[in-house]
Amino acid sequence: MVKLFLTIFISSTLLFANLQEKIESFTPADKYIQQENLIRVLFSDVDSFYRPSDGNVDSLKVIKVLEDNGLFELFYDTPRALNIEFITKKNPLIFMKVIKESLDSLGYNYFLTTKALKKDDEFIWTINLKTKHLINPILFSKELRKRGCSVDDISKEKNNLWIYKINSNNAKLNAKDIDTNINFKLQKSIEPYLIYSKKAQEIKIKTSFSDHWFPNVVFLDAALHVLYQTKIDERTYVLNLKIPQTCVYIRIGDIYTLENIKHGLSIYLKSDD
């Protein structure tokens, strides 16, 4: 009985210590001291802040509680240089694209890559940005979920370093989902169009007669490897292309500038199914 009690006591102590470490790292030191009693009340149900799936602290849940109670710092008085490290185990190329898309959607368009490397079975990408507004982990995680990814863990280290461990097993880009065997109009875009190919065997692309399109069409697999690319250095109105069997994404642009297709494109994905 004594051994059982000691085991439970030690286990509970470790659980509280791990959770406490997360809370302290996410909370400004002055606020933690001022609101220590409130924090103890907010996190009194220690077990509920651990994920049943892997037994780790649910960082997002911790941050959400802190944010809801004004204990999580999102804004700074002056711009700070932040280092953000993203770690995954799958598909480095599409992973980086997903991170960039998610950051873009939150308004973080400018940052500097300071590290990108494969280490053991992990891929690590570190960026640096100067900002007065911390990337909101809750909103960022929602953008990741839209793209098939989920946050496994978040850590805040010294020197303004944030570490995100991300599950990207089902990563996908924010591509346009177009039904097969119908004509679909794509409006003007400021970046190349990206669409899912689904099970289509052919694609027909039409442009306005008032535009001057010089096609640049790239077929990509699920990991964003180039399967085939078509470039045509002459004005084109209609283009019919076969779609490679393992194609997942089709990127459509112009050799020179997207202003050449400022009236958009008409897309027809042909499928025999």
Q: What pLDDT is recorded for position 146?
A: 93
Task: Provide the residue type at 235 as one letter.
Answer: R
Examine the pLDDT at 224 and tell me if it is beyond 50: yes
Tokens matching residue 65:
């509680």
Examine the pLDDT at 15 and tell me if it is beyond 80: no
Examine the pLDDT at 204 and tell me if it is beyond 90: yes
Examine the pLDDT at 8 and tell me if it is beyond 60: no
Query: 243: burial class by Cβ within 10 Å (0-12, 13-18, 19+)?
Result: buried
Give the mean model confidence (pLDDT) for residues 221-238.
94
What are the residues whose beta carbons fall under 8 Å from the beta carbon of 3, sequence distance 6 or more? none
- Where helices occur in 127-195 by DSSP H, the ranges are 137-146
Q: What pLDDT is recorded for position 197?
A: 87
Task: Provide the residue type at 31 as one letter.
Answer: K
Task: Please state, in angstroms and as integers, the Cα–Cα distance from residue 88 to each residue in 98, 119, 195, 249, following that order.
Answer: 12, 10, 25, 22
Residue 63 host element (H or E): helix 59-68
pTM for the predicted model, two decimal places: 0.82
Examine the pLDDT at 5 and tell me if it is beyond 70: no
Give the mean model confidence (pLDDT) for residues 10-15.
46
Give the mean model confidence (pLDDT) for residues 184-205.
92
Task: Please state, in angstroms and as integers, the Cα–Cα distance from residue 245 to each residue in 199, 220, 248, following that order.
Answer: 8, 10, 9
Phi, psi dihedrals of residue 229, rounded to the nearest 5° = -140, 135
Domains and CATH numbers, the chain: 2-68 (no CATH), 75-167 (3.30.70), 183-270 (2.60.120.260)
CB 266 within 8 A of CB 185: yes
